[in-house]
Amino acid sequence: MGGNALNFQTRRVESSAEFRTLVGEVLHTLTRELGWHAAAVRWYHTKESFGDMDILVDSDTIDPNWVDVVLEKFRPKDHFKNGPYLSFDYKDVQVDLILAPAKEFEFSYYYFAWNDLGNFVGRTAHRLGFKFGHDGLWYVLRDPKDYSRVIKEILVTQSFDTAVNFLGYRGEPFKFGFDTPEDIYRFVTTSPYFDPRQFLLVNRSYTARVRDKKRKMYTGMLEFIRQNYPEIPENCEPLPIDRGEHLTRAFNDFPEFKERYNSTMNEFHLECKFKEKFNGKFVGKLFGIQGKELGECMAQMRQTIERYDLRQFIIDLDERQAKEFFILIAE
């Protein structure tokens, strides 16, 4: 997915015809010879220079020793594996295999397509309080007392068309594609929830800024914003938005998401009440311990509590009863 992951300099392919031929050869090996379900990640139609080849592979169709199988078939000079990604060289061109389970394959296929479009749409999702990733649309549940702390990411939908529609985009362009980077940039602005300020580097995290500065498509998007939104200074914050409104909209559009949200919130509130009784300060004072000894003691007690599902029982205890019970289970 961009960048040279190998220990030698692979070559760029400066012809779409040659690149398509190479893609066809790699896919033939993966699908016809190995019997795997795989597809090439698509690029904008007029692209003529290619640094690497991204291939999405259904992880439910591969061999258990899939890395060894790939190395045996392609005989690369070098390879590098990082989680669900495997990079290797084929005819001196870097190939990146990206694994996705069957239930996520279609979403991943469209998310990774058209260069950085999935990342761009993700900026709009982030503005609404959601996460748009290769595995679906998720709601980012944050601690109301500490907004920087993420409690959990809750699945909204793994239907790609439904997800992009919720974010204000039409699904058809993801299928038919785009001729130029400018077509991609223009499409990103079509959502009523789009805010160009979201893309400004000043509004990105440090890690994202370092990464995005190196991506040609992202710097191109910034230039597009400068040209088409000249009234926006480069150091302004995003426009405020009522994220609660879009959470309610998600409840209405995705009833199963609402159930998952409610279940997560019930668990969160239960855990908060439980920690009012079971916490390091209370247990440390009770037993006169701290540091590593306290951590080990609490871990052992927590195992007992979870084994017998005792959190609600502990919540209902008064302070004296809680002390007696903790002494009992710590023995």
CATH number of the domain encompassing residue 31: 3.30.460.10
3-class DSSP state for residue 288? coil
Least confident of 2-16, 251-265, 269-283: 2-16
pLDDT confidence band for 4 (50 / 70 / 90): confident
Structure token pair of residue 24: 């066809």
Say if 73 falls within a structural domain: yes
Structure token pair of residue 8: 């030698």
Which residue range(s) make up the domain with 286? 278-330
Please state the domain count of the chain: 3
pLDDT confidence band for 234 (50 / 70 / 90): confident
Least confident of 31-35, 234-238, 239-243: 234-238
Assess whether pLDDT exceeds 70 at residue 133. Answer: yes
Within 10 angstroms of residue 94's Cβ, the number of other Cβ atoms is 26
Say if residue 282 is in the same domain as residue 191: no
Say if residue 119 is in the same domain as residue 235: yes
Say if 164 falls within a structural domain: yes
Say if residue 120 is in the same domain as residue 94: no
Assess whether pLDDT exceeds 90 at residue 235. Answer: no
Nearest to 157 by CA among 189, 180, 135: 135
Say if 297 falls within a structural domain: yes
Assess whether pLDDT exceeds 70 at residue 245. Answer: yes
Say if 269 falls within a structural domain: no
51, 66, 100 — which closes off a domain? 100
Average pLDDT of the chain to the nearest whole number: 96
77, 100, 123 — which closes off a domain? 100
Structure token pair of residue 78: 């070098």
Say if 257 falls within a structural domain: no
Place of tokens 């439904």: 162
One-letter amino acid for residue 294 of the chain: L
Burial of 65 (0-12, 13-18, 19+ CB in 10 A): exposed
Beta-sheet strand order (sheet of 52-58): 38-40, 52-58, 93-100, 85-90, 79-82
Say if residue 122 is in the same domain as residue 94: no
Say if residue 220 is in the same domain as residue 165: yes
The whole-angstrom separation of Cα 305 and Cα 311 is 7
Assess whether pLDDT exceeds 90 at residue 67. Answer: yes
